[in-house]
A and B are shown apart, each in its own frame.
Chain A
């Protein structure tokens, strides 16, 4: 499969709005990263159970990962093992929390293992690309 099957794009903007005046004091696009990729997979309601939940990575290597805790009650931890095997990335996400990493498949990075540790039975939202 050629490395041009898909273009996975993250379009994002960060704003900071002052409560007292309504002024938008920070308004910054992050550059709209569009990467040529082999695959892109989105799960709107991915079921998780208490404890560890291994998420299958298509092709064995993920370059773009997005996780959102859309469950109203559980909290989750996102666990990633980097390509080199020596590093991990993680964050605790309570309801509404978002974690994402977005990188170019042409570069020598990515993640080989992806799991979610959950405090209970619930649902999360996931995108994996690479």
Chain B
């Protein structure tokens, strides 16, 4: 059987609720993109250190679906990556509970990201992540 072997799906919706009235002023699905893929890997609990952990999927240097959440109660995590076709590393600092999601189809010429790294400000910091390709 040739790939795609799996379908990686992000079901997501955004709501904005007025606290005083309870009115939901924004209620929007993000479209639930379902991407035929070769692999989808979920790591529920990863321990980070001050040394950068490279996050890579097992089949491809490029990742097209990426989710990362700082599940640590108190420490900041820095996540870096390089866009395909670019050379500058992109950086985001995630505080406890923060997350980032990239979900896209691999068909674009420069779609995807590579060299994904996660670094904690101290040893033993918790996170969870998903890599799809």
Residues of A in contact with B (beta carbons under 8 Å apart): 4-20, 25-26, 28, 30-31, 33, 36-37, 40-42, 44, 66, 68, 70, 75, 77, 80, 82, 84, 87-104, 107-109, 125, 127, 129
Residues of B in contact with A (beta carbons under 8 Å apart): 1, 4-20, 25-26, 28, 30-31, 33, 36, 40, 42, 44, 67, 69, 83-86, 90-105, 107-108, 110-111, 113, 130, 132
A101 in contact with B98 given A19-B6, A82-B92, A88-B91 (CB within 8 Å): yes
Task: Please indicate the chain A residues that have their CB under 8 angstroms from the CB of B67 in the complex.
Answer: 14, 30
Given contacts A14-B9, A28-B130, A94-B107, 4 further A-B contacts (CB under 8 A): A11-B14, A18-B5, A42-B16, A109-B98
Task: Please indicate the chain A residues that have their CB under 8 angstroms from the CB of B92 in the complex.
Answer: 80, 82, 87, 89, 101
Q: Are A66 and B1 in contact, with the CB atoms below 8 A?
A: no
Closest B residue, CB atoms, query A129:
B16
Closest A residue, CB atoms, query B100:
A101
Q: Are B9 and A98 in contact, with the CB atoms below 8 A?
A: no
Name the contact of B31 in the complex, choosing from A4, A68, A99 (C-beta under 8 A). A68
A20 to B4, CA, bound (A): 10
Q: Are B11 and A25 in contact, with the CB atoms below 8 A?
A: no
A107 in contact with B33 given A6-B16, A9-B17 (CB within 8 Å): no
A interface majority secondary structure = strand
Task: Please indicate the chain A residues that have their CB under 8 angstroms from the CB of B10 in the complex.
Answer: 12-14, 98
A14 in contact with B8 given A6-B18, A94-B107, A127-B28 (CB within 8 Å): yes
Task: Please indicate the chain B residues that have their CB under 8 angstroms from the CB of A91 in the complex.
Answer: 83, 90, 102, 104, 113
Q: Are B93 and A109 in contact, with the CB atoms below 8 A?
A: yes
Q: Are A99 and B102 in contact, with the CB atoms below 8 A?
A: yes
Q: Are B5 and A102 in contact, with the CB atoms below 8 A?
A: no
Task: Please indicate the chain B residues that have their CB under 8 angstroms from the CB of A82 in the complex.
Answer: 91-93
Task: Please indicate the chain B residues that have their CB under 8 angstroms from the CB of A90 in the complex.
Answer: 83, 90
A87 to B15, CA, bound (A): 28
CB distance from B50 to the nearest CB of A (A): 18
Q: Are B91 and A94 in contact, with the CB atoms below 8 A?
A: no
Task: Please indicate the chain A residues that have their CB under 8 angstroms from the CB of B91 in the complex.
Answer: 82, 87-89
